[in-house]
Amino acid sequence: WGFDQFFAETSDILHRIIVHVFSLQQMSAHKIYIHNHNNATIFNELVYKQTKIPSHNQELIYEGRRLVLEPSRLAQAFPKTTEENPIIVISREAVNVIGLLYEEILLPKVHQRYDLDSDVSMAKAVTGVVCYACRIARALLLYQELMRKGIRWLIELIKEEYSETFHKKTEVVIKLECCNRNTEKAIKIYQNLAATEVDDISDIHSKLLLLSSSQGTIETSLQDIKNKLCPSGLLSDSWTNQDGTHPKDRNPERLQVLLTSITDIYYQFKKDKAERRLPYNEEQIHKFDKQKLFLHATKAMTLFKEECVNKYETFLGKAEDWMRKMLLLRKQLLALRKLCFDIEEEVSKYQDYVNELDETLPHKMFAASSGIKHTFNPVYPSSNTLVEMTLGMKKLKEEMEGVVKELAENNHLLERFGALTMDGGPRNVDCM
């Protein structure tokens, strides 16, 4: 790059705002540099460039609520983020865990011989290594805290999805039972007709019974999901409070205390070097400080590896396994939800057909009876026969009126239930 290009690119970055993003499944933090006038679509593309999660697979959570960014929403209207309070991004498909990328560095060798110049260089290198370890320890702790928070929020969102699916299942069962009863009534009333419509009703009844048989499978699957989400279930977040490092461990603070002691020794070595030659007593103190420097540094790196890095890697492995199980559960929940909608669509189609038959078949019955009446010879039946025919027609009329009334009540019930499902339960969504 020439100076002009470098200056132009630097100026462009300085005029952008930073949106902090944390990829939950990848367990990695990112900074998205975006202009105020850019919209959410561009933001999703920038997230993809850093996380490799396609825009259509990105789910966003902010402060425990689902964050829905309208495509035209400008970046200046995005919620304010920090490293400790980022936007959580979740992928709908499996992604590889990345974690915190850092360089593993070792302490330099400490020579036993007395040499002011080499001792200053060694102390400087040791100070740099321990300072780097302090910074990485803070980042590892932050990543784990963000994971704990993100997992807790994600569980709540999955519970909401479960409740919506359970509600939809209940609605579908009610519609299925109503349609089943109406179909059985229709079969009972029109069973003496030889019309093809009656065969169609019987066929519909068989299909409804088949759909009803899947109800048990759906309920079993929903109960299995509920058990996994309970506090003692397979997908609870209790392990996050047991594994890894926690703020109460105060590991970064312990490292900082050791770093302060090491830094003080380093500054003292710089002063000793300026003297060029030390008196005997000062020389002995210098050698003693050198031993303390080595002990502090060794203690700091042991603390960093055993208490910070090793526990973080254990936490990372369990988080990866939890995310894999979570993704399978969400796909199972999505499949159940789709199955409920498919059953609802089938039931609605059958109900419409039965309603149509209830309107047309009575007219065909009366038309058929009228036609038969004109073809018969005028034979005068007995009074008992006339009474039986009158009672039969009256009973048929009452049954048909009862079916029509029950259909109207069922439709009214479904309309009321549908109105409740449209705005019944509060949904935890931020629509920006």
Residue owning tokens 């979740």: 90
Pick out the chain residues at pLDDT < 70: 190-198, 361-432
CA distances from 176 to 179, 212, 349, 357 (A): 5, 7, 11, 18
Exposed e or buried b for every residue in 398-414, given b needs 16+ CB within 10 A? Answer: eebeebeeebeebeeeb
Q: Which fold has domain 10-91?
A: Ubiquitin-like (UB roll) (3.10.20)
pLDDT for 27-85, tens place per residue?
999 999 999 999 999 999 999 999 999 999 999 999 999 999 999 999 999 999 999 99
Q: How many CA atoms lie within 13 A of 49 on its CB side?
A: 10
Q: What global pTM score does this model have? A: 0.79
> Strands 17-23, 87-91: parallel, antiparallel or unpaired by DSSP?
parallel
Distance CA 236, CA 145 (A): 16
Distance CA 303, CA 108 (A): 17
Q: Quote the Cα angle for 139-142-145, to 5°.
A: 155
Q: If we measure between CA atoms, which residue out of 188, 174, 160, 205 comes closest to residue 353?
A: 205
> Strands 429-431, 28-34: parallel, antiparallel or unpaired by DSSP?
unpaired
> Strands 58-62, 65-68: parallel, antiparallel or unpaired by DSSP?
antiparallel
For residues 36 and 76, the answer to whether their CB atoms sit within 8 Å is yes
10 Å Cβ neighbour count for 120? 19
Residue owning tokens 């499996």: 94
Q: Which amino acid is located at 82 in the chain? A: T
Domains 10-91 and 116-361 share a fold: no
C-alpha 359, offset from chain centre: 47
Exposed e or buried b for every residue in 3-32, given b needs 16+ CB within 10 A? Answer: eeeeeeeeeeeeeeeebbbbbbbbbbbbeb
- Return all residues near 9 (Cβ < 8 A) that are at least 6 apart: 1
- Return all residues near 70 (Cβ < 8 A) that are at least 6 apart: 40, 431, 432
> Tokens in use for 429?
């969504």
Sheet of 87-91: strand order equals 28-34, 17-23, 87-91, 58-62, 65-68, 429-431
User: Residue 378: its pLDDT value, please?
Assistant: 43
The residue count of the chain comes to 432
> Tokens in use for 169?
């299942």
Write down the domain spans for the chain.
Answer: 10-91, 116-361
Q: If we measure between CA atoms, which residue out of 74, 83, 67, 98 comes closest to residue 18?
A: 83
User: Residue 87: its pLDDT value, please?
Assistant: 98
Q: How many CA atoms lie within 13 A of 319 on its CB side?
A: 33
Helix (H, G, I), strand (E, B) or coil at 225: helix
116-361: CATH number? 1.20.1270.420
Q: Which amino acid is located at 208 in the chain? A: L
Q: Give the torsion through C-alpha atoms of 15, 17, 22, 27, to 10 deg.
A: 20
User: Residue 376: its pLDDT value, please?
Assistant: 41
Distance CA 351, CA 178 (A): 9
Secondary structure (DSSP) of 251-315? HHHHHHHHHHHHHHHHHHHHHHHHHSS--HHHHHHHHHHHHHHHHHHHHHHHHIIIIIIHHHHHH
> Tokens in use for 16?
């952008």
User: Residue 185: its pLDDT value, please?
Assistant: 81
Which residues are 87's β-sheet partners?
21
